[in-house]
């Protein structure tokens, strides 16, 4: 393999490690929520992950991610020695526990295996003796600085360091984190909704972590309170109840006008036919696109009952009928001009937009984009229209609707 190829894979592994660190922080926080009601965490401050309670650091976490759990955590492991070196360098004489969270496995009888969560004081002493021997032998030149720093501590100092050190080996690799996250939210929502909950919580968490790391990089003091995580978890869980649905696209960016000008979809032509203002058409495209994405995601995540979307669309068609069906039979008088028809259509379109349209679930509050966008989805199927003669005006697109029904899906 070329040097460039090796560097590429090395960079990918490093990037994966950083992403895993962010997700490990969420996983650890969720696993602690039941036992600790008040703590906050930070990333890349005192350590990879730091937990603080009442203003004092409680735990410092070093995370080591290796693809496919490669490597071992022997007594001369660079991961182990680099971690110990970091903790010696950043020691603040606090009683904080130091955790090494690694995907590699500590072999039986190694110092790392003796520093697990259930170790005894004798295990700590034995681990110190093993590490003392490695440091004095100084067999690995690349770790010479680490050995020197370790041996600069007296025997009691080394014992104290290892007494505060907990090795959690065999940690889940990046591709398995989702399953672990799902397991942590089992009390929050029924089984079939746990993955949708985790995906939304993870999306929020990545944004919050980015905001936090930006502040840290600017030299600001910043922490993420566990209450933020808990509040977001409960908010998402509430949106996944039987009488509600999550809304994921409220804040999507609006389409550019040039994109709308080039849009040849049927529902757009329906609006152009009645000569609706271009900004109104742009808003309609925005509503349609968000509603389409939302409906598709609900279906993909199996959050809807069988036939629920069809029933909802029938409600919306009923709402359309109450506004657009004529109030009286034709009188036989002179037919209105097309300009008059378009003017009346725009008036009725505005009236429909002002109505309180039904949401698909009782507790939903979509700011209108789901019902209004769904109406445009129905209009795109030529099941409703805005112009009084919409069937005749758009009959040239009927074949397109029939041929595209399967390709467009049912959202």
Model pLDDT for residues 321-346, shown as the tens digit of each residue = 999 998 777 666 667 899 999 999 99
| Residues 239-244, mean pLDDT to the nearest whole number | 91
Of 411 and 321, the one with more pLDDT: 321
Q: Where is 206: in which H helix or E strand?
A: helix 194-217
Tens-place pLDDT, residues 216-233: 999 999 999 999 999 999
Whether 356 shows a pLDDT value over 80: the answer reads yes
Of 331 and 368, the one with more pLDDT: 368
Average pLDDT, the chain: 90
CB contact at 8 A, 158 and 132? yes
DSSP-based three-state secondary structure for 2: coil
Q: Which residues pair with 59 in a beta bridge?
A: 51, 97
Whether 271 shows a pLDDT value over 90: the answer reads yes
Torsion sign, CA atoms 264, 268, 272, 278: negative
Whether 127 shows a pLDDT value over 60: the answer reads yes
For residues 323 and 355, what is the distance between their CA atoms, to the nearest angstrom?
9
What does the domain layout of the chain look like in residue ranges?
Answer: 12-240, 257-326+337-409
pLDDT of residue 294: 96
What is the DSSP code string of 64-96? E--GGG-SB--TT-HHHHHHHHHHHHT--S---
Kindly report the number of other CB atoms within 10 A of residue 32's CB atom: 16
Axis-axis angle for helices 194-217, 3-32 (nearest 10): 110
Residues in Cβ contact with 25 at an 8 Å cutoff, skipping those fewer than 6 apart = 41, 43, 49, 209
| Residues 93-106, mean pLDDT to the nearest whole number | 86
What is the DSSP code string of 162-198? HHTEEEE-SPPPGGGHHHHHHHHTTTTS-GGGHHHHH
Tens-place pLDDT, residues 179-230: 999 999 998 998 999 999 999 999 999 999 999 999 999 999 999 999 999 9
* Cβ neighbourhood burial of 208 (10 Å; 0-12, 13-18, 19+): middle
Q: How much of the chain, in percent, has pLDDT values that exceed 90?
A: 74
The DSSP secondary-structure symbol of 143 reads: G
For residues 194 and 174, what is the distance between their CA atoms, to the nearest angstrom?
19
CB contact at 8 A, 47 and 60? yes
Of 140 and 25, the one with more pLDDT: 25
- The 3-state secondary structure of 315-342 reads HHHHHHHHHHCCCCCCCCCCCCCHHHHH
For residues 348 and 342, what is the distance between their CA atoms, to the nearest angstrom?
10
| Residue 142 banded pLDDT, cuts 50, 70, 90 | confident
CB contact at 8 A, 50 and 41? yes
Q: pTM for the full model?
A: 0.78
Residues in Cβ contact with 389 at an 8 Å cutoff, skipping those fewer than 6 apart = 341
DSSP-based three-state secondary structure for 410: coil
What is the DSSP code string of 362-395? TT---TTHHHHHHHHHHHHTTSS-SSTTHHHHTG
In the block, residue with structure tokens 């976490």 = 61
Comparing 89-98, 136-145, 269-278, which segment has the lowest mean pLDDT? 89-98
| Residue 66 banded pLDDT, cuts 50, 70, 90 | confident
pLDDT of residue 4: 46
| Residue 367 banded pLDDT, cuts 50, 70, 90 | confident
For residues 365 and 305, what is the distance between their CA atoms, to the nearest angstrom?
19
Whether 1 shows a pLDDT value over 70: the answer reads no
CB contact at 8 A, 96 and 59? yes
């Amino acid at each position: 393999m070329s040097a460039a190829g090796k560097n590429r894979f090395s960079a990918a592994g490093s990037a994966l490690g950083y992403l895993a660190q962010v997700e490990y922080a969420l996983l650890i926080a969720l696993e602690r929520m039941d036992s600790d009601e008040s703590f906050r965490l930070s990333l890349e401050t005192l350590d990879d992950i730091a937990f603080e309670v009442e203003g004092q650091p409680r735990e410092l976490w070093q995370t080591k991610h290796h693809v496919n759990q490669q490597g071992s955590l022997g007594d001369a492991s660079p991961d182990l020695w680099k971690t110990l070196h970091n903790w010696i360098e950043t020691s603040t004489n606090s009683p904080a526990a130091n955790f090494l969270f690694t995907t590699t496995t500590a072999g039986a009888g190694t110092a790392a295996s003796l520093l697990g969560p259930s170790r005894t004081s004798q295990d700590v002493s034995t681990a110190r003796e093993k590490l003392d021997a490695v440091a004095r032998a100084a067999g690995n030149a690349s770790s010479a600085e680490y050995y020197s720093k370790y041996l600069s501590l007296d025997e009691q100092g080394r014992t104290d360091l290892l007494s505060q050190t907990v090795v959690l080996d065999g940690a889940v690799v990046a591709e398995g984190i989702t399953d672990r996250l799902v397991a942590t939210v089992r009390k929050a929502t029924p089984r079939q909704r746990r993955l949708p909950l985790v995906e939304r919580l993870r999306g929020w968490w990545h944004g919050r972590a980015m905001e936090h790391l930006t502040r840290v990089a600017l030299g600001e003091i910043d922490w993420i309170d566990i209450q933020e995580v808990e509040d977001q978890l409960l908010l998402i869980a509430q949106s996944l109840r039987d009488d509600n649905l999550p809304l994921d696209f409220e804040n999507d960016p609006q389409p550019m006008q040039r994109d709308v000008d080039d849009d040849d979809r049927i529902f757009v032509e329906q609006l152009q036919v009645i000569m609706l203002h271009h900004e109104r058409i742009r808003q309609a495209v925005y509503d349609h696109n968000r509603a389409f994405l939302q409906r598709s995601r609900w279906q993909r995540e199996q959050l809807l009952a069988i036939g629920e979307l069809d029933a909802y669309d029938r409600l919306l068609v009923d709402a359309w009928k109450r506004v657009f069906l004529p109030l009286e039979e034709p009188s036989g008088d002179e037919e209105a001009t097309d300009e008059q028809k378009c003017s009346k259509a725009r008036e009725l379109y505005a009236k429909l937009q002002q109505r309180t349209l039904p949401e698909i679930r009782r507790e939903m509050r979509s700011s209108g984009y789901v019902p209004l966008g769904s109406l445009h989805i129905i209009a795109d199927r030529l099941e409703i229209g805005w112009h009084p003669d919409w069937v005749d005006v758009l009959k040239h697109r009927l074949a397109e609707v029939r041929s595209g029904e399967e390709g467009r899906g049912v959202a």
